[in-house]
Structure 1
Amino acid sequence: MQNIIVNKERKRIPYLDTLAFLVLLLTFFGYIGIKMGISNMFSTIMATAYQLLVDTVLYIMAIAVLAGAFGKLATEFGVVKILNKVFSPLMRPLYNLPGVASLGILTTYLSDNPAIISLARDDEYISYFEEYETPCLCNLGTAFGMGLIVTTFMIGLGYFKEAIIGNLGAIIGSIVSVRIMAYRTRKAMGVNKTIINKNKANKDLSDTLIEKSEGSFFERFLTAFLEGGKLGVDIGLSIIPGVLVICTIIMILTFGPLDPSVGYQGKAFEGVELLPRIGRLIAPVSKILFGFERPEAIAFPITALGAVGASLSLIPNFLKNGIIGPNEIAVFTAMGMCWSGFLSTHVAMLDALGHRKLISKAIGSHVVGGIVAGISAHYIVLLLEILI
């Protein structure tokens, strides 16, 4: 008699998600409300979000507009093509990826993480990669997403050298992330070449994948400048939810009363100092790895996991309160650029690449890559202090 296997579905508790959400919500607001007082808590939340919007988001948007305009001009007038030719020979030794992968680095550095997806959807571009290499584009693109904006932001605060060191740290972190991801995807998927024609290996894909506008030099300049600026506005608008929601929560969990002798007043940037207490627990580790002098600094990498724009908005207050210095700026640049909010984009990017099953492998690899980026930036700073 044929055996019939019946798959029984697990019994689910009705409204489990709702119950979990309510418990989390009540725990969060209950803890803060007890510490600060209900009235002060809501007043602080609104005041902090408003200050972030006016003082930080608009500043980041201005940088994004200028960076977007420069990025579009660099694409329009062939700078990206030149850079692609320069960096293509380095891709196989560093990342063990085809030379055309450098085009993905440049496009995401000048814009944001998902920019590499438009390249990956091009049949000619993706034909240069082995099948197991294509998921690595997610980690590669994410490691350089919003790189120009992050770098420009740090330089605008007066930390040019530290921003460059941070970029070097991010490159090291990206190599680690991509290499680990490639090792894991190769084991999971095997080696299955999708290269169509090896004779085209020396072809510069930027000639076909980067569109050039028609018209005179002035017309092309003006069009590219305005289109790039518009892209910067879009990026600036897209970071508003992350900054106002995530960063407000992080700041409330980071700072204490503005005047401890008076207590809570319901003003902006007051909080319950939970993250510093957590930071003090891991201070010996974070000091060795990243050189953080103050436990509050751990808030930046935690925020960068979800939204790099939100993490950037922490920096002005950290500088104002003497929480961070040049070393932290270098580490923040490296980790912010390498992670660039990957927890909020990795799932969608891998889904677009058709490799949703590799999400855990991609996230695990990129966590390691971001940590290595921060460690590298810190020890480069120490090395330069010894040599100079």
Structure 2
Amino acid sequence: MKKESAKKKITAPTGILCLLVVVCIFGYLGYVMGLPNMLNTIMKTAHDLLLNTVFYLMSICVITGALGKIFMEFGVVNLLERLLRPLMKPVFNLPGVTSLGAVMTFLSDNPAIISLAHDKRFASYFKKFQFISLTNFGTAFGMGLLVMVFMVGQGFYASPVIGLLGACCGCVCSTRLMQRFVLKSYPQYATENAVDAEDLEEEEKEVQVNSQKTVFIRVLDALLDGGRSGVEVGIAIIPGVLIISTFVMIFTFGANADGVYDGSAYQGVELLPWLANKIDFIFEWLFGFQDPHLVAFPITALGAVGAALSLVPNFVSHGWVDGNAIAVFTAIGMCWSGFLSTHTAMLDSLGYRDLTPKAIIAHTCGGIVAAICAHWMYFLYTLFISLN
């Protein structure tokens, strides 16, 4: 009886608090947008994310999963491990095979690293604390090629390259910080392998069986097995993308062009940009932004870098951006690349959901470091150009 009464005392206040938070959030949204518009916007945004974002990410997972399996099957991963170990170990405290994840996420998007991580032979190179930090490492290069090509298309050439270097600095910060967080909470992960010996033995036996097949069959099996694992990852990320992204969008964007709420997808209350504008002097000091509107880019990049990129042409037409802003946009856009939308789902698919808050904190710091480094590297670049 005493235990039951104690539980009631504990759960009652938390239940009331939870109810108050939910009522405050949706009450605020409903008051600003109107209740029918709020509900329509939430449902339409989630539906559009499912069709145009989740399935897009799933297709990336399928392709990269198949490509990663091919690299595993024919020894490319072992080659990368030997060649890049001297670089990856001291800089990122990760094995050399991790560079494959950087390339694949740079060419596609964040979840590509998870397609690789689900391969036991790839995961066998890692200790658990390193394996968990893959979410931070891979995310820092997500959609990198798309971001750089887009910025070049806006007429900037040196700035995107400087932004890439800034993203690398942010990646080091995020990955190392995440490893530190993991080891502080779970010291035993420093020595535990990411893959059990029994699972690895089964994988090796399967490899030996496959090695006796013809090259054509090996390629076909690798493509289909890797693609199948990509489908599983794509399904696993659905809840995180729909739930997190929808609320990030609704707190970032505003009404339609006429300033009216009509229940369309991707409308919102612009709370995050409003809060950011209150401290825009900090962004000017850290990132060199000359206009407070530019704060919208990093805020939006938290949820979706594609949506953040769509802001740039408007910034350019208004004359708000310069080379420094493009370098910072590239760095922070690439490093964050909508990680609030994918980090939860990625860690959940790896089986370490409880470490999601630590991963988010570490990657938030990494993105800020990336932007600051890009700002100062661009400053040094312009100083060098002026001296010559």
Aligned to 1:289: 286
Report the secondary structure of 1:80's partner residue: helix
Change (3 A) 1:119 1:216: closer
Aligned partner of 2:27 in structure 1 is 30
Structure 2 stretches lacking a partner, 5+ long: 1-5, 105-111, 193-202
Answer yes or no: is the 8 Å Cα contact 1:44–1:266 preserved in 2. Answer: yes
Q: Deviations over 1:2-44 (max 9, x none)?
A: xxxxxxx798344333222211111111111111111221222
Q: CA deviation digits over 1:73-119, x for unaligned, max 9?
A: 33333322222111111244324x4x7x2235545875435965876
Q: 1:142 aligns with which of 118, 135, 141?
A: 135
Per-residue Cα deviation, 1:252-294 (whole angstroms, up to 9, x for no partner) = 211222133x622222222211111011123222344345652
Tell me if 1:54 matches 2:51. yes
Native 8 Å contact 2:251 2:268 kept in 1: yes
Q: 2:97 maps to what in 1?
A: 103
2:253 touches 2:268 (CA, 8 Å); kept in 1?
Answer: yes
1:279-326: CA deviation from partner (whole Å, max 9, x where unpaired): 1123222344345652222324543xxxxxxx3453464357549974
Q: Give the superposition deviation at 1:372.
A: 2.0
Distance 1:22 1:287 in 2: 38
Residue in structure 1 matching 2:307, options 306, 314, 319? 314
Aligned residue in 2 for 1:273: 270
Counterpart for residue 6 of structure 1: none
Question: Among 195, 211, 215, which residue is 1:217 paired with?
Answer: 215
Residues 296/191 of structure 1: CA separation in 2 closer, same or farther (3 Å cut): closer
Contact 2:244 2:341 in 1 (8 A): no
Quick check: 1:67–1:152 contact (8 Å CA) kept in 2? no
Closer/same/farther in 2, CA of residues 163 and 246 from structure 1, 3 Å limit? farther
Contact 1:257 1:270 survives alignment (8 Å): yes
SS in 1 for 2:58: helix
Say whether residues 1:334 and 2:364 are aligned partners: no
**What amino acid maps onto 2:236 in structure 1?**
S
Structure-1-length-normalised TM-score:
0.68
Tell me, in whole angstroms, the C-alpha distance in 2 between the residues paired with 1:65 and 1:121: 17
Partner Cα separation in structure 2 for residue 91 and residue 44 of structure 1: 44
Q: What amino acid sits opposite 1:138 in the alignment?
A: I
Contact 1:173 1:370 in 2 (8 A): yes
The answer for the alignment partner of 1:45 in structure 2 is 42
SS in 2 for 1:102: coil
Structure 1 partner of 2:250: 252
**Quick one: structure 1 residues 378 and 338, their matched pair in 2 at CA, closer, same or farther if it must change by over 3 Å?**
farther
* Closer/same/farther in 2, CA of residues 182 and 11 from structure 1, 3 Å limit: same
Work out the CA distance in 1 between the residues paired with 2:189 and 2:26. Answer: 52
Take 2:118 and 2:226, find their aligned partners in 1: how far apart are those partners?
19
Counterpart residue identity of residue 261, structure 2: Y
Task: Report how far residue 351 of structure 1 moved.
Answer: 5.9
Corresponding residue for 2:372? 375
Q: Shift of residue 208 of structure 1?
A: 6.8
8 Å contact from structure 2 (residues 167, 332) kept in 1 = no
1-structure distance, mates of 2:206, 2:143: 24
Q: Distance in 1 between matches of 2:223 and 2:186?
A: 43
Aligned residues: 347
Residue pair 1:170, 1:337 contacting (<8 A) in 2 also: no
Q: Tell me how large the CA RMSD over aligned residues is.
A: 4.6
What is the DSSP-based 3-state SS (H/G/I as helix, E as strand, rest coil) of the residue aligned with 1:270? coil
Aligned pair 1:175/2:139, yes or no?
no
Aligned position for 1:230 = 228
Residues 88, 99 of structure 2: 8 Å contact kept: no
Cα distance between partner residues in 1 of 2:242 and 2:341? 17
Residue 299 of structure 1 aligns with which residue? 299
TM-score where L is the length of structure 2: 0.68
Distance change >3 Å, CA 231–CA 264, structure 1 → 2:
same
CA distance in 1 between counterparts of 2:296 and 2:214 reads 52
Q: Deviation per CA, 1:324-379, whole angstroms, max 9, x where unpaired?
A: 97431332112339888546666996969xxx8x9987776555344323433444
Alignment partner, residue 151 of structure 1: 144
Within 1, Cα distance between the matches of 2:358 and 2:43? 38
Question: For the Cα contact (< 8 Å) 1:334–1:377, is it kept in 2?
Answer: no
- The share of aligned pairs that are identical, in percent, is 32
Change in 2 beyond 3 A, CA 1:79/1:177: same
Change (3 A) 1:234 1:149: farther
